[in-house]
Amino acid sequence: MSDKIQVKVDKSHLFTLGEKMYRESIEFIRELVSNAYDADATEVYINVSDNQIVIEDNGSGMNERGLSQFFTIGSEEKKLRNTSTRFGRRKIGQFGIGKFSALAIADQFIVESVRGNYKYSVVFDRSDWNSNNEWELPIKKEAKSPFDHEGTRMILNRLYKKISISETEKYLKQSVPLRAKKFKIFLNNKRITAKTVPGRIIPIKVDTMYGEIRGQIVIAINPRDVSEPGLECQVKQVFIKRSLFGIDKKYHQGTNKITGNVNADFLPLISSRSDFVLDSSEYKLFHQIIYKKLDEVIAEIKKQSETKNLNKITKELQDVMRHIRDALVMNPDFIPQGKAISRLKKEARKKMALASEDFKKEKDDFGDEKNNEEVDKKEQLGEDEKKDKEKEPEEEKKIDVKPLVMKKIRLKKLGISCGIVDLGEDGPEVISQGNMVYVNQNHPLYQKVYKKKDMLMMHLIRLITQEIVLMKKLRITAKEAFDWQAKLIRDAMCV
């Protein structure tokens, strides 16, 4: 003969369990609305006041058996019969623990349900439940009156906490199937509807070995319409969490326009229903598929953004070059003669070489006394030439970057081209080679003024006129350069 140990559970643990299974005290509303959806309700009315919450639906109602299942924690009923009888809805209720979390904010929970010709009611009172050793709840059954209609009514009395109407509305918008057909929810007589963000809709429909993935990615027209970027991930049309699936680590732009929802009923959830079982094979496949979809979408957004950026830069640079050309026409003395200067430099080198040859010839015509003197002069000349060459700036290595945009200024004695290029964040603001001017669009200052038209124009005029002034002369004082550029900028902004 062996002894037996009786396992006992304190009733108060049900309330603690109900609270810990859910992130927020108002999550019981989601479970009650989910029950109404499962019962083929077409309308659910939620009324919240300071001391009472009432949730009423026009679903199929519950009899004694239904109420017994309702108060059974972890009932298998919805797994065995996972579709509703009238509309064939996939049932979304799950653990059945939410009603206990309701008693974390109220003293009393009443369920009234009408089915067939009878009305059934159960009163779940905190003090009575804790003081009684019994684990049963009495069910009251009576004939329905002409004023009773089929459906269920839940009442929470004597609230501990005040429920925020705005927070309740916000929570309902993301946690219940508002987009389902023939299903309306009203909060204090105001219909709650799913938020719609204007934009391009890209449908998702993928059949996997585990089940179907269905939803939509929305590329918002205005990023400000997206309160929180990411897709609403759902199981049985119930919100679990919002995610960008790590795509925001790959792309720094475009993700702020992404919203939408994706549903996969096969995804396993952790007990609190606040996240998925991330190391499950089902979730890994789901993550891989949605990541690929988002990658394609954001790559397209990037491409469209680059096209828009190119069109904008083209127009801005064209306007800037026109203003600078007009300013140069007004100041012909400032027009650089780049090619002439290069020619003069070459001619100067030739003259120096010829002078050296003359000195060499003169050496033979003079006596020995003058010979040493001429040699000294020649050596000195060679040293001077060497120093001059050392002073000459080395020719810059030609940058091998294809400009995004290239525009030209054409005057009688001038041909200058300006291009917008990528030289990196640490690269110079602007660089010139010959008669080519390259403006770095990756420079932080350019990025700062890019979206402000007037500031961008001023920025480009400043950089381009700076390079034009430096083309004017080989040697120029800082004051001359400053004065000339200031005059060109002023005239360019006024024309």
Would you identify the CATH topology of the domain 199-302? Ribosomal Protein S5; domain 2 (3.30.230)
Is the pLDDT confidence value at 43 over 90? yes
What are the residue ranges spanned by the domains of the chain?
12-192, 199-302, 338-387, 398-494
Architecture (CATH level 2) of domain 12-192: 2-Layer Sandwich (3.30)
Residues 180, 237 contacting (CB under 8 angstroms): yes
Q: How many CB atoms lie within 10 A of CB 119?
A: 19
pLDDT of residue 8: 54
Mean pLDDT of 96-102: 60
Residue, of 133 and 322, whose pLDDT is higher: 322
Mean pLDDT of 463-484: 79
Nearest alpha-carbon partner for 59 in 189, 182, 172: 182
For 230-280, the pLDDT digits (tens) are 999 988 877 889 999 999 988 877 889 999 999 999 999 987 678 999 999
Buried b (16+ CB within 10 A) or exposed e, 348-377: eeeeeeeeeeebeeebeeeeeeeeeebeee
How far is 138 from 142, CA to CA, in rounded Å?
13
Nearest alpha-carbon partner for 19 in 104, 111, 81: 104
162: amino acid identity, one letter? K
Residues 407, 396 contacting (CB under 8 angstroms): no
Greatest distance between any 2 Cα atoms in the chain: 144
Model confidence at 395, pLDDT cuts 50, 70, 90, reads very low
Bridge partners, residue 414, by sequence: 411
Q: Which residues contact 88 (CB under 8 A, 6 or more apart)?
A: none
3-state secondary structure of 22: coil
Q: Name the pairing type of β-strands 430-433 and 436-440.
A: antiparallel
Residue 28, token pair as written in the block: 């019981």
Residue 97, token pair as written in the block: 């623990």
For 291-330, the pLDDT digits (tens) are 999 999 998 888 877 777 788 888 888 888 888 888 888 8
Edge to edge, the sheet with strand 118-125 lists: 139-143, 118-125, 106-115, 151-159, 52-57, 43-48, 184-187, 190-192
For 326-364, the pLDDT digits (tens) are 888 888 877 766 554 454 445 445 545 555 455 455 545
Residues 246, 233 contacting (CB under 8 angstroms): no
Q: Which residues contact 263 (CB under 8 A, 6 or more apart)?
A: 213, 214, 215, 233, 234, 235, 236, 237
CA distances in angstroms from 328 to 47, 460, 487, listed in the order given: 74, 16, 10
DSSP secondary structure, 92-108, as one string: ---S--HHHHHTTTEEE
Kind and range of the H or E run holding 309: helix 281-330
CA distances in angstroms from 50 to 160, 163, 441, listed in the order given: 10, 8, 58
How far is 272 from 231, CA to CA, in rounded Å?
20
Model confidence at 16, pLDDT cuts 50, 70, 90, reads low
Mean pLDDT of 130-146: 82
pLDDT of residue 150: 94
pLDDT of residue 196: 84
Nearest alpha-carbon partner for 306 in 441, 118, 110: 441
